[in-house]
Chains A and B, each alone.
Chain A
Amino acid sequence: MLKKTYDWIDERLNITPIWRDVADHDVPAHVNPANKMSAFVYCFGGLTFLIIVTQILSGMFLAMYYVPDIVNAYRSVQYITDEVLLGNIVRGMHFWGASLVIIMMFLHMLRVFFTGSYKAPREMNWVVGVLIFAVVMGFGFTGYLLPWDQKAYWATAVGAQIAESVPFLGVYIKKLLIGGDILGALTLTRFFAIHVFFLPAALLGLLGLHFIMIRKQGIAGPL
């Protein structure tokens, strides 16, 4: 049954080469933990992506209940946590996933660095990786404000002050970031838009580049 469906699609779109490229290529020996135990470090990139996928999914579903305005934000998060079926769990996935994605990304970055995989011809991929790092930091910063509680408010206030400390442009950067002179209604909506629309668009674009380059160039060679 499954084969019939696959054949039907393959006859029309010729997807077998793509499938071969993704699923049927051998894991290089030096990258295979079954071969060399210490190669598990090569799994960190994929794990980072896995957690990003859970963040996107849990985030999408949270958006079914969350309200990004200063009157309802906190209350809507409370509703998710206390009353929505397994709301606590979905929120938890997103909350803990946020910390995990940062950790995984760091481990992945360390692996790439210490195996020298950023060297030629993979320099561009490293640069894309650094941009992804910045985007993920942006996710953390903007997402943190959304529950609109004391911790969220003051963490954002401190972050905005840091942005303001940039010479000459700092005042304007801060104003653009928080949507005005004060941290308020406009900040919350702005951060929500950045967190849910702008950054995901940037992330998907960068991840696309990241993966295309890896498939094109292959994983870096053994040490």
Chain B
Amino acid sequence: MSDQKAKQENKGLSRRQFLTYALGGTGAFMAATIAAPLVPFAVDPLTRSSGGNFVDAGIKESDVKSDFPKLIEFRVHRKDGWVEENVKMRAWIIRDKEDKILAFSGACTHLGCAVSGTLDASGNPKPSDDGKWWFHCPCHGGRYDVYGVQDPVTPPQRPLDAYEVKVEGGKVLLGSLNKRKA
């Protein structure tokens, strides 16, 4: 009698503990089986890579000047779930100090309002009457120079986001929009 008891104490796992593990494990397995399709379903957007492709900006490389930015409009074919559309987008384009083409968005990096360039009555770019600040944001007074670099004493804390630029066959192609370092 006492031999049997001693044996049981040495085994270490009681029937109650075993059942708890077995039932708990089975329950966890069943929950995981239900969750298995649901979790990937919910996080599907994380598995999709964005754009990466370049679109025709509708401007020739030779037309990009280095004095003032030029406003260009182009269309991007975009897939949003089951919706496909050709979205109209705008960009400012200029040659930088190293003569490379720089294209950036007009969305103020503060809260997204569209910045205005310094234009004359007929819509052509003209020299700024505000020192080197050529872009002005109507919302909170943000200012940027001709290369889209912000005035640090105004709300925006980083330059206007820049597009990736490629030149093919004399035409300018624009890729994804990226933040520029402050």
Contacts and interface: CB of A to CB of B under 8 A. Distances in A.
B35 to A, nearest CB: 14
B81 A186 contact: yes
Given A172-B46, A176-B43, A180-B45, A158 B111 contact: yes
Interface residues of A, number: 17
Contacts of B46: 172, 175-176
A184 B45 contact: no
B45 A70 contact: no
A181 interface: yes
Contact of A180 (B42, B80, B111, B112): B80
A181 B52 CA distance: 12
Contacts of A70: 83
Nearest to B85: A184
A157 B81 contact: no
Contact of A185 (B42, B48, B81): B81
Contacts of B82: 185
Given A157-B112, A158-B111, A179-B45, A184 B81 contact: yes
A154 B112 contact: yes
A56 interface: no
Nearest to A177: B45
B50 interface: yes
A173 to B, nearest CB: 10
A186 B112 contact: no
Given A157-B112, A181-B50, A175 B45 contact: yes
B13 to A, nearest CB: 33
Interface string B98-119: 0000000000000110000000
B43 A180 contact: no
B78 interface: yes
Interface string A64-80: 00000010000000000
A182 interface: yes
B78 A180 contact: no
Contacts of A181: 48, 50-51
Nearest to A180: B45
A184 B80 contact: yes
A6 B130 CA distance: 82
A6 B81 CA distance: 54
A180 B48 CA distance: 8
B4 to A, nearest CB: 44
Interface in B42-80: 42-43, 45-46, 48, 50-51, 78, 80
Given A158-B111, A185-B82, A186-B81, 4 more contacts: A161-B112, A176-B42, A182-B78, A185-B81
Interface of A: 70, 154, 157-158, 161, 172, 175-176, 178-182, 184-186, 189
10 contacts: A172-B46, A176-B43, A176-B46, A178-B45, A180-B81, A181-B48, A181-B51, A182-B80, A186-B45, A189-B81
